[in-house]
Amino acid sequence: MSVQFSEQEHGFQAIRFDGRRLQLLDQRRLPAEELWLEVDSADEAARAIADLVVRGAPAIGITAAYAAVLAARQRGADQAGWQADMSRLEQARPTAVNLSWAVNRMRRQVAEAGCLDPEALAELAVTIHREDVAANRRMAALGSEVIEPGSGVLTHCNTGSLATGGIGTALGVIVAGVREGRIARVFADETRPWLQGSRLTAWELARAGVDARILVEGAAGALMASGQVQWVITGADRITARGDVANKIGTYNLAILARHHGLRFMVVAPASTLDPDLESGQDIAIEQRDPAEIWRAAGLESAPHGSGAWNPVFDITPGELVDVIVTEHGVFRPPFRFDQDQAA
Ligand code: MRU
């Protein structure tokens, strides 16, 4: 039991599971090296998620689902041990709701079955992965339809095959839009401090045969003023009932800049990223990471060693700055009001 698909149609696979072994393409090493890591337990998966071996909201949810299968095989009949594994797993990163969403789906299966059944859990994990692949395709089609031919787009962070199960969220829309001739220019923010834009998005776009230009984040305002982009398109880690969006730090800046320059702002995310239980984005836990992540840039010390740092890795864009939210269920426009029917 596994998920396999064509790269042209669905993007490439960065998470592999053959029923017993879980392998992750190590995103810390890209683009220099394509190294696969084998993960043998829920704790190893939690470490891989926390250390950004695998990142991106849907991808960490899918990884957690497969990790739940590994844990069930190791725990045998020990449900309490498995539940403790799940608790540690869902705490690996706090902001993306897809992580707890996937763990809770695995928990429900165990509650309904009344026992740990690794085969049934593997089937569910593969279903979660396949659903994401299908959601990606649907969002790519829906999102690209909204974009006027000849448009330029700016994206942030990485939202492609590395961050999802399939062709991606925002990046899926962009690749589809380029292939359909709607998008004429693609720009990717480098996305400090971890450089998901320049290391990962640029690598994925080149692999998909899409010409793109990278910019330092400080150049976004000048790019918008130059008239070369009409849309900013990003993914999300969590979206509240009123459409507030938690996403990679810097997204909020882009939304404000876009509004000032009269550009449109599109957020693309599967229903598994909606969290209608939360009203305001201010209630979303924002992950703070190690200051050491911003002590180095381009291989050089970029700050005095030991400097204090404020290193939130996500921010909140209020729903009123967002023009369109695309999920696999449709294209939503303000005022946003998401409820359980639209969530996965
Ligand atoms: O810290 P990361 O790299 O996991 O942050 C990822 C993002 O912010 C993405 O934009 C988001 O998860 C959407 S991925 C389809």
Distance 337 CA to ligand 1 centre (A): 23
Domain at 167, CATH number: 3.40.50.10470
Q: Judge if 144 and 107 occupy the same domain.
A: no
- The CB of 58 under 6 Å from ligand 1? The reply is yes
Mean pLDDT of 151-156: 98
Mean pLDDT of 185-204: 96
User: Is 70 exceeded by the pLDDT of residue 225?
Assistant: yes
Using the CB atoms, write b or e for 268-302: b if 16+ within 10 Å: bbbbbbbbbebeebeebebbebeeeebbeeeeeee
Residue 1 maps to a domain: no
pLDDT in tens, 309-342: 888 999 999 999 999 999 999 999 999 999 998 8
Give the per-residue pLDDT at 226: 97
- The CB of 197 under 6 Å from ligand 1? The reply is no
Q: Judge if 116 and 206 occupy the same domain.
A: no
Q: Determine the residue of 28, 54, 55, 275 to mutate for testing ligand 1's pocket, defined as the one with the most ligand atoms within 8 A of the Cβ atom.
A: 55
pLDDT in tens, 90-114: 999 999 999 999 999 999 999 999 9
- Distance CA(41)–CA(43), nearest Å, equals 5
Q: Judge if 16 and 106 occupy the same domain.
A: yes
Domain at 12, CATH number: 1.20.120.420
| Closest ligand 1 atom, residue 247 Cα | 8
Q: Judge if 101 and 180 occupy the same domain.
A: no
Query: Per the structure block, which two tokens stand in for 44?
Result: 């190893």
Whether cis (ω within 30° of 0) applies to the bond prior to 276 is no
Residue 329 maps to a domain: yes
Domain that holds residue 281: 140-342
Q: Judge if 98 and 164 occupy the same domain.
A: no
Residue 174 maps to a domain: yes
pTM for the predicted model, two decimal places: 0.96
Q: Judge if 271 and 129 occupy the same domain.
A: no
Contact (CB, 8 A) for 165 and 172: no
Q: Judge if 293 and 264 occupy the same domain.
A: yes
DSSP state of 273: G
Rounded to the nearest 10 degrees, the angle between the axes of helix 170-179 and helix 118-145 is: 50
Q: What is residue 294's three-state secondary structure?
A: helix
- For the question of residue 237 being annotated catalytic, the response is yes
Widest distance between CA atoms in the chain:
62
Give the per-residue pLDDT at 300: 75
Per-residue confidence at 7, pLDDT binned at 50, 70, 90?
Answer: confident
Last residue of a domain, one of 134, 157, 176: 134
Mean pLDDT of the chain: 95
Q: Judge if 175 and 269 occupy the same domain.
A: yes
Mean pLDDT of 266-285: 98
- List Cβ neighbours of 104 (8 Å cut-off, separation of 6 or more): none
Q: Judge if 257 and 295 occupy the same domain.
A: yes
Number of domains within the chain: 2
Contact (CB, 8 A) for 171 and 160: yes
Give the per-residue pLDDT at 298: 64
Q: Determine the residue of 99, 158, 201, 322 to mutate for testing ligand 1's pocket, defined as the one with the most ligand atoms within 8 A of the Cβ atom.
A: 158
Distance 251 CA to ligand 1 centre (A): 11
Residue 2 maps to a domain: no
Distance 56 CA to ligand 1 centre (A): 4
Angle at 69 between CA 65 and CA 75, to 5 degrees: 135
Last residue of a domain, one of 134, 155, 182: 134
Give the per-residue pLDDT at 10: 74
Contact (CB, 8 A) for 84 and 46: no
* Measured distance between the N- and C-terminal CA atoms of the chain, rounded to whole angstroms: 23
Residue 13 maps to a domain: yes
- The CB of 110 under 6 Å from ligand 1? The reply is no
Distance 236 CA to ligand 1 centre (A): 7
- The CB of 196 under 6 Å from ligand 1? The reply is yes
Q: Determine the residue of 175, 247, 253, 326 to mutate for testing ligand 1's pocket, defined as the one with the most ligand atoms within 8 A of the Cβ atom.
A: 247
pLDDT in tens, 19-37: 889 999 999 999 999 999 9
Higher pLDDT, 12 or 224: 224
Distance 55 CA to ligand 1 centre (A): 6
Residue 165 maps to a domain: yes
Q: Judge if 110 and 244 occupy the same domain.
A: no
Distance 111 CA to ligand 1 centre (A): 30
- The CB of 169 under 6 Å from ligand 1? The reply is yes
Return the percentage of the chain with pLDDT > 70, whole number.
99
